[in-house]
């Protein structure tokens, strides 16, 4: 059993941002804090993205604090570009991420500390920064007849790329950016496609600037303050209207159908008599937060979510959720990491190296605010 001041669970954007600010404050990786990551390699959830999601098609990627991502080839797969960037970042700041480590449960240790149990050992800690994201918990809505479908069903988390659907009839379900991207590229190889969403999609030509970003984050933050399950930031910003999207709408590829009422062996059906034949159904229906390992602490509210005060869990000030709810975007994750470390330092009564902004990091580097790509 190892004893540290802070455990960071997850090494995606939010986890690395948190580790950076802990390091910058003067806390030593491996001695004062530890970063545990379930993924096999650096890159967070990005390492699992489908090959046709190139870096140039990534929507709203922001650099990590202290080190810009520059000069990347937009034609390369985003999994490669961002995986290499995260790897270089971890090494540049000596974050000493331990992987692959699966955290099974976080419990009370009995002395005011927390007990973090994993397949690689046990840590006790005074504070925990949880940055586990959502990728390991894909969501598929329950629809009557789901188990009767004779074809293939695949979620975004296991999306193989458009070539796997060549000459098939494909139904894509979901109203977010991933659904649109899947549909546009599948339509080039498939025999036929249909797009199904629960709500009418909102397309916008307005730029996603700082003001719109703040407004979107505020709407999501209101839900988590009330203890409700968070919605994604993207769900309140609308879908960006690009030239490719505009052409797809004009050609009929992005003609939306309402959510079907049941799945049958040969496809999907609606109560009004409509039916669409399908060989495959692609569920681009989002993810849910990976917080099951926190269940022993009983943090959930009656509304089903975890009530938050900034990054801090309202029921337990030792625990911070970053990359959760309003901080699920890449820029939000950066800000949440900094805010969480500030509050953790105050909670633990520890102020080493003068705090953030006090001086140089490794190799004489100084911290910079992240810039949007």
pLDDT in tens, 117-158: 999 999 999 999 999 999 999 999 999 999 999 999 999 999
Please state, as a whole number, how many other Cβ atoms lie within 10 Å of the Cβ of residue 351. 12
- Looking at residue 223, its pLDDT comes to 64
Helix 13-25 crosses helix 330-348 at what angle (to 10 degrees)? 40
Q: How confident is the model at residue 239 (pLDDT cuts 50, 70, 90)?
A: confident
- What string of H, E and C letters represents the secondary structure of 25-76? HCCCECCCEEEECCCCCCCHHHHHCCCCCEHHHCCCCECCCCCCCCCCCCCC
- Looking at residue 365, its pLDDT comes to 34
d(CA 222, CA 225): 5
- Looking at residue 199, its pLDDT comes to 87
- Looking at residue 201, its pLDDT comes to 83
| DSSP structure class, residue 158 | G
pTM value is 0.83
Q: How confident is the model at residue 249 (pLDDT cuts 50, 70, 90)?
A: confident
Residues 6-11, mean pLDDT to the nearest whole number: 98
Q: How confident is the model at residue 171 (pLDDT cuts 50, 70, 90)?
A: very high
Has residue 359 got a pLDDT over 50?
A: no
Cβ–Cβ under 8 Å, residues 13 and 44: yes
């Amino acid at each position: 059993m190892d004893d540290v001041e802070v455990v960071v669970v997850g090494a995606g954007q939010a986890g690395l941002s948190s580790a950076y600010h802990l390091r910058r404050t003067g806390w030593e990786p491996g001695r004062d804090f530890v970063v545990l990551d379930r993924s096999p390699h650096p890159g967070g959830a990005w390492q699992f993205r489908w090959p046709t999601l190139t870096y140039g098609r990534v929507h709203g990627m922001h650099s990590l604090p202290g080190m810009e991502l520059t000069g990347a080839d937009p034609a390369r797969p985003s999994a490669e570009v961002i995986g290499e960037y995260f790897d270089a970042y971890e090494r540049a700041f000596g974050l000493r991420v331990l992987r692959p480590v699966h955290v099974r449960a976080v419990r009370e240790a009995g002395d005011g500390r927390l007990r973090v149990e994993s397949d690689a050992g046990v840590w006790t800690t005074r504070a925990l920064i949880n940055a586990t994201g959502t990728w390991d918990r894909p969501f598929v809505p329950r629809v009557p007849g789901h188990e009767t479908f004779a074809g293939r069903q695949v979620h975004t988390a296991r999306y193989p790329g458009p070539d796997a659907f060549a000459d098939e009839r494909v139904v894509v379900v979901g109203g977010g950016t991933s659904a649109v991207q899947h549909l546009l590229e599948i339509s080039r190889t498939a025999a036929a496609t249909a797009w199904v969403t629960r709500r009418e999609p909102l397309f916008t030509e307005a730029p996603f600037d700082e003001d719109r970003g703040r407004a979107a984050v505020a709407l999501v933050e209101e839900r988590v303050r009330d203890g409700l399950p968070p919605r994604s930031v993207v769900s309140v910003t609308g879908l960006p209207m690009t030239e490719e999207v505009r052409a797809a709408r004009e050609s009929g590829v992005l003609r939306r159908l309402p959510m079907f009422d049941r799945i049958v062996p040969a496809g999907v059906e609606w109560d009004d008599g409509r039916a669409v034949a399908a060989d495959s159904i692609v569920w681009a229906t989002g993810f849910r937060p990976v917080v099951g390992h926190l269940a022993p602490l009983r943090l959930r509210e009656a509304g089903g979510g975890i009530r938050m005060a900034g990054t801090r869990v309202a029921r337990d000030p030792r625990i911070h959720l970053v990359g959760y709810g309003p901080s699920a975007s890449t820029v939000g994750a950066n800000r949440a990491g900094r805010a969480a470390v500030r509050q953790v330092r105050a909670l633990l009564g520890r102020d080493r190296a003068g705090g953030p902004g006090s001086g140089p990091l490794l190799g004489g580097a100084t911290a910079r605010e992240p810039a949007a790509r």
